[in-house]
Amino acid sequence: MVGAEFERDVVPLFDLLYRHAFRMTSNHADAEDLLQETAIKAYAGLNSFLPGTNLKAWLFRIMINTYIGDYRKKKRQPVHVSAEVITGRRLVSAAGRPAALRSAEDLALDLLPDPQIKAAMEDLPEQFRVAVYFADIVGYSYKEIAAMLDIRQGTVSSRINRGRRQLRDLLADSRGARRSSGTRRRGID
């Protein structure tokens, strides 16, 4: 793939890539930066793309790796507190973790309407949570998830099934605990 082919094949995917970047960052400026970094890395790594394979999955993989790398880099940087933030002996919540450093999955989980589902999703092991998140919340196919996570499609299927089973068990446990510690039904003492 050369520059003209890159422009012909990749540029039309920018809207889709931007939407994905925005879902991960929840910020327009950060999404634009992530898209730009992804495009630059994709162009620089054209020689690693195999013609005939899934271009969209390749670009998503670059975007996800870039996002994770940036997240880790920001996480290692110390929090800088300006003098204006310090009042007397109190720190005004500047040392807290900025929302921009939260993962896309964490931000998406915050938007779940049911707090029990959110809590159960957060309790899943990461490998299952990511697979269930991409399949059930974002709506990717098993094939797309396999390409993005660089694992076999059978592994994706297994992780989704095991994650859903654990999610179902966690939700059943939380409902059972709520019923046993909750209110009594009328007429039953």
Q: What is the pLDDT of residue 82?
A: 54
* HSE of 92, CA atoms in CB hemisphere, 13 A: 7
Please report the DSSP string for 137-158 in residue order.
II---HHHHHHHHTS-HHHHHH
Say how far apart CA 41 and CA 46 lie, in whole Å.
9
Nearest-10 crossing angle of helices 3-10, 55-76 = 90
Q: What is the pLDDT of residue 49?
A: 85
Could you give the domains of the chain? 1-97 (1.10.1740.10), 103-181 (1.10.10.10)
Q: What is the pLDDT of residue 175?
A: 67
Say how far apart CA 143 and CA 140 lie, in whole Å.
8
Query: Higher confidence at residue 178 or residue 59?
Result: 59
Region 4-11: what's the mean pLDDT?
A: 85
pTM for the full predicted model: 0.45
Q: What is the pLDDT of residue 103?
A: 57
Region 22-27: what's the mean pLDDT?
A: 84
How do residues 66-124 score in pLDDT, each as one tens digit?
A: 888 887 777 666 655 555 544 444 444 444 444 445 555 555 555 555 677 777 888 88
